[in-house]
Amino acid sequence: MAKWGEGDPRWIVEERPDATNVNNWHWSEKNASGWSKEKLKSLFEGLTMEAPELATITVKELSKCDGEATVSNRKGKLIFFYEWVLKLDWTAKLTDDPKKDVKGTLEIPNLSEENDPEEVDVNVSVTSGGQEGDIVKEYIRKQGTKIIQDKIREYIDTLKKEYATDLIKPTKGQAEIKQSKTIVSPPPTLSSNVITTTTNSIQKMELGCKIPTSKITLTQSFKCTAEELYRALTLREEQSKQIVQKWRFKTWPSGHHSTVTLDLEQKEDCTDLILTQTGIPASDVDRTKEGWKKYYWESINRTFGFGAILL
């Protein structure tokens, strides 16, 4: 019990002219969605990429920007949440044939705090330009992706700088307070029933502790050959039948990985991809299933055209 004249510092309001959010104890939140859309537009529209002796590539328009961004403060700790699906329209002016019409799109399906900038996917497609368009597409895929990811990093850094200013208030006797380490929140749109408190409890587990895990099996059909699907999934020269890899969400306990096995079965008019994943924390099964469907199956179909009829 506090002595007379003393009190819990969370509730001491003197020497604070506004007397709000004392010692940063209460939850405060800012909506950064509007700012983010304008920032992303300014970063991407007009962006040029020079492909030596090939073309000058220009991002003409941010034609799709779906998602949201918020910044919250609780007990002096900043929580950044952002999740965006972007589509950029680009054109290319060929060095050897400036009048040729070369156009395409860039799709970014997973710009969120769950992924570092270098982990964000950049899916490239060409809508006109023939063989030259395909060459430009490959240049963007191999060289331009890094430029796009650098712009994404700039957006994230600026978001954290701009929106940390007013959320952390000086406490009594402090001229300033250092920004606390960012807590990463899970992207709730991956699953409608993801419970933040459950994910946070997973994050607190230490390496070596036992957690309940589950296994999932998913099957997805693509209108392509097994060889084409395999090339879309990996660049390594192996038989086009199976891929095995380690996989994890960043919110899982440090060092904990699941094992993903992708088996390809060639059918008469399509290829079935059978995904088997073991070692998934039991509380993340639904989020993991939805993530494969939303960020992988849909992106593969959209990027490579595997949803079309196989001739």
pLDDT of residue 209: 61
- The domains found in the chain, sorted by start residue, are 28-163 (3.15.10.20), 203-304 (3.30.530.20)
Cross-strand bridge partners of residue 52: none
pLDDT in tens, 72-84: 876 667 788 899 9
pLDDT value at residue 301: 78
Residue 217 clears pLDDT 80, i.e. is over it? yes
Angle (CA) 234 237 242, round 5° = 60
Q: What is the mean pLDDT of residues 178-185?
A: 42
Measured between alpha carbons, how far is 148 from 143 in angstroms, rounded to an integer? 10
> For 121-137, what is each residue's pLDDT tens digit?
999 999 999 999 999 99
pLDDT band at 302, cuts 50/70/90?
Answer: confident
pLDDT for 57 beyond 60: yes
Average pLDDT of the segment spanning 278-306: 85
Q: What average pLDDT does the segment 206-234 reach?
A: 78
Q: What is the pTM of this model?
A: 0.52
**Which single residue is written with the structure tokens 């331009």?**
144
Which is nearest to 296 in space by CA: 68, 31, 109, 64? Answer: 109
| The token pair that represents 115 in the structure block | 């992924």
User: Mean pLDDT throughout 15-33?
Assistant: 57
* Cβ count near 64 (within 10 Å): 15
User: In this structure, which amino acid lies at residue 81?
Assistant: F
Residue 140's pLDDT is what? 95
pLDDT at res. 252? 85
**Arithmetic mean of pLDDT, 282-294:** 89
What's the CA gap between 279 and 263, in Å, rounded? 18
- Out of 21-30, 155-164, 186-195, 253-262, which region has the weakest mean confidence (pLDDT)? 186-195
SS3 296: helix
Provide CB contacts within 8 A for 12, sequence distance 6+. Answer: 22, 23, 172
pLDDT-derived band of residue 311, with 50, 70 and 90 as boundaries? very low
